[in-house]
Amino acid sequence: MPSITTTSPSTAPPRPWCSGTSSSPGSARRSGSSPSSPPTRSASSPARAAGSSSARSEDRHGRKTVLVVTVALMGGSSFAIGLLPTYHTAGVWGPVLLMFLRLLQGFGAGAEQAGASTLMAEYAPSARRGYYAALPFVGIQVGMLLATALFVPLAQLDEDVLFGWVWRAPFLLSAVLILVAVYIRLKLEESPAFERLEESGEISRRPLRDLMVNSRRNLFITFGLRMAENGTSYLYSTFSISYVTTVIGVSNSVGPLAVACASLAGIVTIPLFGMLSDRIGRVPLHRMAALFQAVFAVPAFALMSSGNTVLICEVITLGIGVGVNGMLGSQCALLAELFGARHRYTGVAIGREFSTIVAGGIAPLLGATLLLAFNDAWWPLAAYVVLLSLITFVTTFVTPETRGRDLTDLADAR
């Protein structure tokens, strides 16, 4: 079942509803709006956490129904952005409506990613669960490539033409992808694990309460595992684009090109790491990927600061394609296996999305703050990546190995 991302925050065209000051690197040196900065980007992070509230519905009413609703919500709000009036025609209502639609996008995305990987994990044979649970995230990489493919030619247009009407095209075209996604999901059957719950009458009526009473340990483990994967993903895929452009001074096309290379690599590495987790275990792979990210941080930011286009592309591709995806490939099945069947989706969704705020949501802002505090030096950024990676590395030593676990089991992994 594909997971489709209609626009990438780091590659979407500039948005002409907003004016003001960006909090991306170099904002003290320039003004204007940035697709990866407040107010538009920051609106989606808390909404993703709010989106985890749908987890209770999925644990009570099934995976399929909620996933159809969330992808329709996420896609419908993306399409509606393409219909928004501009600031010049609607005044303050332009950015207000944009913020509202970004909140809806985040709400849908908050349930979407957790639900897709959980459903695939419950469908998959235990011997290949890591591979199948990772596949929805391949769809995200394809979505980022499509967004970049649209952004690159649009960026070459005259600003009057781009801001006149052309910027709407990627958002309006997203309707095609969403219709395909909704059609596919309507054809799905409910997962075997949830069907077993229905047959046995073991469906929890209060999955959130059950989670907080019985699964606090595994919930905190989820937070720790996500710190490096999510935090460094935001730094490499979003923050670094502004960093190399406004601080290092490379061309505007270098950042999107680097992210496109990383997305292309992700199409291969995400399922590959998922398969590897089926062979050597979830925890050893996650630990090795976190250690790689910590060791790679210093040379990565040192090489990025060189301004060499090839090196920048290689660094971002390795940071995401190996470091982030190594953790993601093992994590897709691991998080689903940590929680019992009665509150699995609630645990995965809350663990994923609240850690997104702590690890990823503040990463670009904290990165910009470090640059201002240390006069654009690169080493504090590397130290931040090392810190996130070490938190995850330590967490793996208290994480139970879950490979091959029976997902119809009502108890959490211990």
- The structure's pTM equals 0.81
- Stated as kind and residue range, the H or E segment containing 101 is helix 93-123
293-304 mean pLDDT: 97
Answer whether residue 359 is part of any domain: yes
| Highest-pLDDT range among 17-21, 229-233, 245-249, 288-292 | 288-292
Cβ-defined contacts of 149-154 (< 8 Å, 24+): 149/260, 150/13, 151/11, 151/12, 151/13, 151/256, 152/253, 152/256, 154/13
**Number of domains forming the structure of the chain:** 1
409 inside domain: no
Residue 19 forms part of a structural domain: no
* Structural domain contains residue 29: no
For 308-335, what is the mean pLDDT?
A: 96
Domain assignment present for residue 196? The answer is yes
Residue 333 lies in a domain: yes
Distance CA(362)–CA(125), nearest Å, equals 37
Q: Is residue 1 part of a domain?
A: no
Does residue 209 lie in a domain region?
Answer: yes
pLDDT at 45 over 70: no
Alpha helix (H) ranges present in 281-408? 282-304, 309-318, 325-338, 344-355, 363-373, 379-395
Mean pLDDT of the chain, nearest integer: 83
Q: Using DSSP, how many helices (H) and how many strands (E) does the chain show?
A: 19, 0
Return the closest-CA partner of residue 54 out of 407, 350, 337.
350
Q: Supply the pLDDT for residue 105.
A: 82
Which CATH number do you get for residue 373? Answer: 1.20.1250.20
pLDDT band (50, 70, 90) for residue 25: low
Full domain range(s) for residue 237: 40-398
